[in-house]
Structure 1
Amino acid sequence: MPSTSTRHVIAVVVLVPVLAALALWAFAWPAARTAPRDLPLGIAGPPAAIAQVERQLERHEGAFEIHRYADEAAARDAIEDRSVYGAVVVTPEGPELLTASAAGPAVAQFLQQAVAQQASAGGIQVRTVDVVPAPASDPRGAALNASVLPLALAGIAAGAVVTRLGLRGVRAVTALLGASALVGVVAAGIADSWLGVLTGDWWAEAAVLGLSALAVSGTVAGLAALAGTAGMGIAAAVVMLLGNPFSGAPSAPRMLPEPAGAIGQWLPPGAGTTLLRSVAYFDGAAATGPALTLTWWAALGLCAVLLGGSLRARKESGAPAADARGLATVG
């Protein structure tokens, strides 16, 4: 029978390639399959004209989810409310494409290419108007995309440190809340005040960044309180191997292969990215869903921390009592 050290070597040799393959799949698969899937797109103008536009867009099978609007003003409102990612407006001067690069520069670029391709086939020039532009300091959304991983790591680190320090119950919850609040303030200071890549209300952005960190740290510490080191590892793995690559930060959730796009929005990194876009660029439009998702993760995680601390305290208090009864019986 192999010795313990031999079994450990075999476990490492097998486990590391498996983890590498899993990580490669999680990050490379969505990137390699990025394409629009039922991407909400508006059309507006005279009924006969937009019917023709709709038929042309339907050639991109499964790419768009078409929404009709009465006029350009209604289409602009829909973009600003985050109901659609863009809109094609038929005007007397010719077709016009409305985009919102703040909702995802990759999506805006794809819409320009798709609509221009259709129009060029008929010899028509399309004018593009960026209704909600990305900030000039981050036109490609690179900084927003880069912020997903550090926030996830900050949340994992906070949950792990609280666990390793042996903090329980109310003390653990207080530490998690304080650390997350500080993360939010520091991150908003860097992204908004210094880099200028976020352009919304400063305190609202700090709250979103802090809540994103708390959703992760609470989950890590909560599962650790209930299941020990294994729970902490599972929570960290889900956030890193699913939450980050499925967040849709580089493009948009509707640009990811299913079910990655849907899964990502139910996990803290994806919900946090969507909420941050809404608060930073769209005055909080469509913020309710992702805000509730983050709140549920944070609340359940903190409840798990309190429950795990209570169960452990009861177990430890019961052990001395049992020992005392045993000594009394012997005496």
Structure 2
Amino acid sequence: MNLRICISTLVILFIQSLVNAQSIEKFSIDAGGASTTVGGIEILYTIGEVNVQEYSTPSFSVSEGFINANLKISIDPKVFLQGPSLNASNPGLMNDILRSDDKLPVTSPYQDLVVINASVLNDGGTSGFGGTSDDIVDWVWVELRAANDNTKMVNGRSALLQRDGDVVDLDGLTNLTMHAAPTNYYVVVKHRNHLGVMSASTIGLSSNSVAIVDFKNSGFSTFGTNAQIQLTSGDMALWAGDVNNDGVVQYVGDTPDSPSILSFVLNDIGNVLNLPTHSVSGYYTYDVNLNGTTQYSGLAPDTPFILQNVLSHPGNSILNLSTYKIEEQLPEH
């Protein structure tokens, strides 16, 4: 008898819950927030509420609650790559052979795989009236790292590098926009076959002004020791030759880069005679000087650039060992 009463009671309660329960058919959580750094500690906070009223048309929308716009800051990095600076056709400008020979892809080689309009790679940019110094050399990768942990990437994205060293947005002209809160960051620039570089100290970045981060300037402090090579012009540039992407430039030894070039050349489908002098045309990481051609030995080989860097590195000035390693000066986990 008691069991029947219990079951009947549960059934009645269940039916009442169906009748009286609240029902929210459409809702979203709209929130706001920001971040700040105090005493080296980064604080992130959000505020929000359940939004139960929404109205929208093709031209506008109304939503109850807090709406947080995307955080954006502008930055003006400047950097030279050693590879296209070798035997430059114009003083103070990198070569842009990849672009002029139609070998530069419209899709970024980095992880975000962004795509640009092909007109950005025209002579003079999209308009056709831009200066020669603004023509695109290659893609680069830019990171912002946390002030309290320089191994932690807060935001990273692909960008375009102009001949004069300006790192610009995907239109090939305007300052680079990063999606992060206005505060202080370490700034990092990387390239697919050069050693990356990072600012020695944090840089204050804001949505109201554009911060210049000039890695070309020999007076600008970078993290680590001999993070860049000094060109004959006096400008600084990223070390070329990391064709196997291990963060080290080495000619021979336990992690050398030159054998990767040899293997690539010998295994090219067009090298039917397996000649080390065979040239491979295209957009490849094995192309040290970014001239659109990869060759192990012959008339225009890429491997001597690696040997020259290793032998001329300030850390190898006494013994001049071909096995010396030029290590990327980036703090990593």
TM normalised by structure 1 equals 0.22
Higher helix share: 1
Larger RCO, structures 1/2 (Cα 8 Å, 6+ apart): 1
Higher strand share: 2
TM normalised by structure 2 equals 0.22
